[in-house]
């Protein structure tokens, strides 16, 4: 764990902090090979890679109705209630994001412009497995697709050692409204949804987080299927002053670290006293967590940095462009107004990242590795496409005629200009 004044961080240390997630190129060839094989051999390749990577031999990839029934019957009413509470909040938030599906404006007499929003026909949602199962990710990916009106939504998630899927993951798929669920993980799952196989339907768009292999696979299939954005190992940056609670801040760093050995957790604070307290508390909490080995590995990527001023901390945050940004300062509005790059923002000592991970309603599928500079977190617009509309009368076209003709001729496109003139009596010469 790096423990320094922000102004003393070396160029190499800064580069390491800012370039996390750069391992995509390192796995590129392996990912490309698997994708090509899935594209060529379909289900046969899926069986081979599921056996190789997940150590499971499957006769059928799709979760059956009987498996759904068994999973649902194994979940307590109380836990199902919590799942439905989270689903309701996620649905409410994403419904609030829904744009007006069709609108028009009159630019001038005879010129009416508009826009139509149309949902995608099919979407594939990836829910990670491996070190943990993520029913919450199923809710976060399927529900907004359903709210947007996507025609078909499928889910791929890695099988467990016995070839089954976590019952709560299946319950989440049912509650969220997924059409089909497949026991597929990793690169082969992304390839199956991108290209289609004998069993898995091809989709128009793939959404959801994953490890570096999954993220690289998503980036490589963009010629045949749209994706949301790169969403790799989890990360948090906490901006804090002396009003923050050290135990709470440390717990939020540990919470991110337990995701994956590649997770990144950073605290930037104007208080040297807080920095020291958080560092000590991190080491204590790391010893007392169920996923201690993963946490300790991830803490190699962690940093506790002391800033000379809040402005310096904000500047670093905008360069870092975190997936999750926690603001634990007395004047949170001052910071919020100056934040340019963040996947999701959590304000106050009582707004830890797990609130958004599970139950507040905001989406937890977010750009990582600095991609928050250019991408938005998963939202309703990821499941819609927009078409512009023009209603032009003769009066309207007449008001635009001279401008169109002049620009068309300047570009050397005479037929474009003539297409306007013809509507006002011009007859092309023979």
pLDDT at residue 131, rounded to an integer? 62
**Any known ligand binding at 312?**
no
Q: Are residues 61 and 132 in the same domain?
A: yes
Rounded to whole angstroms, the Cα distance separating 234 from 4 reads 23
Whether 35 is covered by a domain: the verdict is: yes
**Any known ligand binding at 411?**
yes
Structure tokens at 397: 């076209």
Give Dmax (Cα) for the chain: 89
Q: Are residues 60 and 114 in the same domain?
A: yes
**Any known ligand binding at 364?**
no
pLDDT at residue 130, rounded to an integer? 64
pLDDT at residue 430, rounded to an integer? 66
Pick the catalytic residue: 94, 324, 364, 382?
Answer: 324
**Any known ligand binding at 324?**
yes
Whether 378 is covered by a domain: the verdict is: no
Q: Are residues 43 and 192 in the same domain?
A: yes
Rounded to whole angstroms, the Cα distance separating 305 from 383 reads 39
pLDDT at residue 25, rounded to an integer? 80
Burial of 78 (0-12, 13-18, 19+ CB in 10 A): exposed
SS3 268: strand
Q: Are residues 190 and 281 in the same domain?
A: no
**Any known ligand binding at 256?**
yes
Rounded to whole angstroms, the Cα distance separating 218 from 227 reads 7
End position of a domain, from candidates 215, 231, 247: 231
Length of the chain in residues, anyone? 430
Whether 270 is covered by a domain: the verdict is: yes
End position of a domain, from candidates 337, 361, 385: 361
Active site residue 94: no
> Where does residue 155 fall: left (phi above 0), alpha (psi -120 to 50 degrees), or beta otherwise?
beta
Name residue, tokens 């934040």: 339
Residue 430's domain comprises: 393-430
Pick the catalytic residue: 323, 326, 364, 382?
Answer: 323
> What does the DSSP assignment read for 15-45?
HHHHTTTGGGGGGHHHHHHHHHHHHHHTHHH
Q: What is the mean pLDDT of each run of 10 residues along the chain (430 residues)?
A: 96 91 81 97 97 94 96 97 98 97 97 98 92 88 98 97 94 98 97 98 96 93 96 92 97 94 95 98 95 95 97 98 98 98 97 97 96 97 98 98 98 97 88
Whether 152 is covered by a domain: the verdict is: yes
Rounded to whole angstroms, the Cα distance separating 206 from 214 reads 11
**Any known ligand binding at 382?**
no
| Tally of domains in the chain | 3
**Any known ligand binding at 379?**
no
Structure tokens at 205: 């768009």
Whether 388 is covered by a domain: the verdict is: no
Structure tokens at 9: 């961080």
Active site residue 324: yes
Say what the pTM is: 0.94
């Amino acid at each position: 764990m790096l423990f320094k004044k922000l102004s003393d961080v070396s160029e190499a240390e800064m580069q390491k902090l800012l370039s996390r997630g750069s391992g995509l190129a390192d796995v590129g060839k392996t990912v490309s090979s698997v994708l090509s094989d899935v594209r060529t051999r379909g289900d046969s390749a899926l069986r081979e890679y599921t056996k190789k990577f997940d150590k499971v031999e499957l006769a059928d990839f799709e979760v059956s109705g009987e498996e759904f029934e068994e999973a649902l019957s194994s979940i307590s009413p109380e836990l199902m209630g919590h799942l439905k509470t989270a689903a309701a909040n996620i649905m409410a938030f994403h419904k609030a994001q829904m744009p007006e599906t069709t609108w028009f404006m009159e630019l001038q007499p005879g010129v009416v412009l508009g826009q139509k929003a149309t949902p995608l026909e099919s979407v594939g949602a990836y829910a990670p497995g491996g070190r943990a199962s993520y029913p919450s990710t199923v809710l976060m990916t399927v529900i907004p697709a359903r709210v947007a009106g996507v025609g078909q939504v499928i889910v791929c998630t890695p099988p467990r050692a016995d070839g089954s899927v976590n019952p709560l993951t299946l319950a989440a798929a049912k509650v969220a409204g997924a059409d089909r669920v497949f026991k597929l993980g990793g690169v082969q799952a992304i390839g199956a949804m991108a290209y289609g196989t004998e069993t898995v339907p091809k989709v128009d768009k793939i959404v959801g987080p994953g490890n570096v292999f999954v993220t690289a696979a998503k980036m490589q299939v963009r010629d045949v299927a749209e994706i949301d954005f790169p969403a790799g190992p989890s990360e948090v940056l906490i901006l804090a002053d002396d009003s923050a609670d050290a135990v709470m801040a440390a717990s939020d760093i540990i919470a991110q670290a337990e995701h994956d050995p590649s997770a990144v957790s950073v605290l930037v604070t104007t208080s040297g006293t807080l920095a020291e307290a958080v560092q000590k508390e991190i080491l204590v909490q790391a010893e007392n967590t169920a996923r201690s080995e993963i946490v300790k590995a991830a803490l190699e990527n962690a940093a506790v940095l002391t800033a000379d001023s809040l402005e310096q901390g904000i500047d670093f945050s905008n360069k870092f462009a975190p997936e999750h940004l926690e603001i634990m300062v007395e004047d949170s509005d001052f910071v919020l107004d100056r934040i340019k790059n963040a996947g999701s923002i959590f304000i106050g000592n009582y707004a830890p990242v797990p609130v958004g991970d599970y139950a507040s309603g905001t989406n937890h599928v977010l750009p990582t590795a600095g991609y928050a500079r250019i991408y938005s977190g998963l939202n309703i617009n990821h499941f819609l496409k927009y078409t512009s509309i023009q209603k032009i009368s003769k009066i309207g076209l007449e008001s635009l005629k001279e401008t169109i003709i002049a620009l068309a001729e300047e570009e050397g496109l005479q037929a474009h200009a003539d297409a306007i003139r013809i509507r006002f009596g011009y007859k092309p010469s023979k």
